[in-house]
Amino acid sequence: MLCIGIETSCDETGLALVRDGRLVHAVMSSQADIHALFGGVVPEIASREHYRLIGPLYDLLLREAGVGPAELDAVAVARGPGLLGSLLVGMAFAKGLALGFDIPLVGVNHLHAHLLAAGLERELVFPALGLLVSGGHTHIYRIESPVSFRLLGRTLDDAAGEAYDKVAKMLRLPYPGGRILDQQGRRGIADPRLFPRPYTDNDNLDFSFSGLKTAVQTHLSRHPELVPSPDAAQTVAGGHDAPEGLRNMCASFNEAVAETLCIKLGRALDGDDGVGVRALIVAGGVAANSYVREHTARLAVSRGLELIVPSPPLCTDNGSMIAYAGWLLRQGGLSHSLDLEAVPRGRAIPDDYRQGPAGCS
């Protein structure tokens, strides 16, 4: 069964083909450079870019894969959460394919797709505890199967990736700055007392990273010499070493984020929701972070769990994870009708699948 996946929820236009659970081919265009000029994603520009790119990327995908459109058996599309205008571009294109080729349409929860992405590289194990850490979300789930997710905790304000990007902005580093802070931190020494492990002094599984962001801001206002000049910031963004003080601060910040995530994961494993859990799945853009990978690996070993983390290119937004999640849903016979709705960030995604027929209607 050949499933095409379409991802346009934020600033990456990604399309991919998955056949029988294996990736056939993927194409992608990132708008990061355009949005970097504005210090964050500009929704109107994002949807226009998706609209400009999606047709040519579809042609490229099929051409490079040597696949004809008549071979497609299903079309999967990220239906949310995301930027509404951006989602609508992918959804409209997907509905066009479903209608044009009379194949089933499957709306995919972008967050679930992140957590399932590692299934393209190795076998997934359930029940699992899932940590989704991206630019817009920090969620903990208990996952019983590819189609059964229960949300246990979430961020009350900034997502982990947002905290990275905001700290990077304070340091005049380009958006999205998470990868640069990770890289610089590796070259420094962390002071475990410099920054708090925010919102851990409670017994719930929610997160709040805005306090950590403020702690960095306060630290920088006391040490303005840590903020690089615009020229120096460019050099750092290019991969050159930042001054030692800044490298150390980056290391401390990375440690604070990774430890905070693991404190809550440990708490989830200790509670009723941890019963029977066999694996820890970590996904989303921030799962590419080396500190997050190390800390969660240690946690998994100490609890006798399998750690399942996608390779870095599968951590950030991509079409492959949508094609794969759609393929899994189709394996369960699930699909959507053509009135499938896009769901913007902040709204729950309804469980409105139907046991799908072979066509689109």
| Residue 8's binding partner out of Zn ion, ligand KG4, none, with CB under 5 to 8 Å set by partner kind | none
User: Hey, what are 248's tokens?
Assistant: 């150390």
Cβ-based nearer residue to Zn ion, 182 or 317: 317
Cβ-based nearer residue to ligand KG4, 97 or 283: 283
CB of 110 to Zn ion, least distance (A): 6
CB of 180 to ligand KG4, least distance (A): 8
CB of 286 to ligand KG4, least distance (A): 4
CB of 136 to ligand KG4, least distance (A): 4
Residue 109 exposed, middle or buried by CB count within 10 Å (0-12, 13-18, 19+): buried
CB of 70 to ligand KG4, least distance (A): 32
| Residue 161's binding partner out of ligand KG4, Zn ion, none, with CB under 5 to 8 Å set by partner kind | ligand KG4
Cβ-based nearer residue to Zn ion, 86 or 335: 86
| Residue 255's binding partner out of Zn ion, ligand KG4, none, with CB under 5 to 8 Å set by partner kind | none
Q: Between β-strands 12-19 and 354-355, what pairing exists: parallel, antiparallel or unpaired? A: unpaired
Q: Which amino acid is at 172?
A: R
**Residue 124 Ramachandran class (φ > 0 left, ψ -120 to 50 alpha, else beta):** beta
| Residue 273's binding partner out of ligand KG4, Zn ion, none, with CB under 5 to 8 Å set by partner kind | none
Is residue 299 within a helix (H) or strand (E), and if so which, with residue range? Answer: helix 290-303
Measure the CA dihedral 126/131/132/138, to 10°: 150
Closest CA to 337 of 124, 17, 99, 136: 99
Task: Tell me how far apart the alpha carbons of residues 344 and 77 are, in angstroms, rounded to a whole number.
Answer: 14
Query: What does R_g of the chain's alpha carbons equal in angstroms?
Result: 20
Measure the CA dihedral 115/304/268/182, to 10°: -60
Cβ-based nearer residue to Zn ion, 158 or 317: 317
User: Hey, what are 316's tokens?
Assistant: 């950030």
| Residue 215's binding partner out of Zn ion, ligand KG4, none, with CB under 5 to 8 Å set by partner kind | none
- Taken as a whole, the chain contains a residue count of 361
Cβ-based nearer residue to ligand KG4, 5 or 177: 177
Cβ-based nearer residue to Zn ion, 162 or 317: 317
| Residue 95's binding partner out of Zn ion, ligand KG4, none, with CB under 5 to 8 Å set by partner kind | none
Chain residues in the site for ligand KG4 (CB under 6 A): 10, 134-136, 161, 164-165, 176-179, 182, 284-286, 288-289, 316-317
Cβ-based nearer residue to ligand KG4, 173 or 329: 173
Chain residues in the site for Zn ion (CB under 5 A): 134, 317
Q: How many CB atoms lie within 10 A of CB 20?
A: 10
Closest CA to 135 of 32, 232, 234: 32
| Residue 179's binding partner out of Zn ion, ligand KG4, none, with CB under 5 to 8 Å set by partner kind | ligand KG4
CB of 291 to ligand KG4, least distance (A): 8
Angle between helices 290-303 and 244-270 (to 10 degrees): 30
Cβ-based nearer residue to ligand KG4, 318 or 335: 318
Peptide bond into 196 cis (omega under 30): no
| Residue 158's binding partner out of Zn ion, ligand KG4, none, with CB under 5 to 8 Å set by partner kind | none
CB of 135 to ligand KG4, least distance (A): 3
